[in-house]
């Protein structure tokens, strides 16, 4: 189902590109020495503009990927910190029980490293 939807969306995007290049002239006119740009070169300039726009959007997408990933890591850190605070407030006696267990766990970890 997802694959069919992806193929359908790709075909719709290609139809939009074809419409923009072949059918719709747009409002931009390129005039060289008083003459408007004619058909063979006009399509090439339109395709070049489309490629440049595509490259710019791809670079912007990569930049936003890194920005949102960095923001996501910061937000995740805040959520974990808030969870630790809430857990400490919810179970105040749990910390008293976990500290001796952490010391025992650390002692066992140290002795296992020296044996190996």
Structure confidence by residue, pLDDT tens digits, 66-110:
888 888 888 888 998 888 788 778 777 777 777 788 888 889 888
* Structure confidence by residue, pLDDT tens digits, 26-62: 666 777 788 777 666 666 666 777 778 778 888 888 8
Cβ contact 21:50 at 8 Å: yes
Residue with tokens 């400490």: 88
Res. 116: pLDDT tops 60: no
Segment holding 31, helix H or strand E? strand 31-32
In this prediction, residue 78 carries a pLDDT of 92
DSSP state of 34: T
């Amino acid at each position: 189902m997802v694959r069919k939807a992806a193929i359908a969306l790709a075909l719709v995007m290609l139809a939009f590109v074809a419409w923009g290049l072949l059918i719709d002239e747009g409002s931009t006119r390129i005039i060289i020495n008083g003459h408007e740009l004619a058909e063979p070169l006009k399509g090439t300039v339109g395709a070049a503009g489309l490629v440049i726009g595509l490259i710019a959007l791809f670079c912007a997408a990569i930049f936003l990927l890194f920005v949102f990933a960095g923001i996501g890591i910061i937000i995740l850190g805040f959520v974990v910190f808030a969870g630790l605070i809430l857990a400490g407030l919810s179970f105040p006696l749990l910390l008293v029980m976990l500290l001796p267990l952490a010391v025992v766990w650390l002692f066992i970890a140290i002795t296992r490293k020296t044996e190996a």
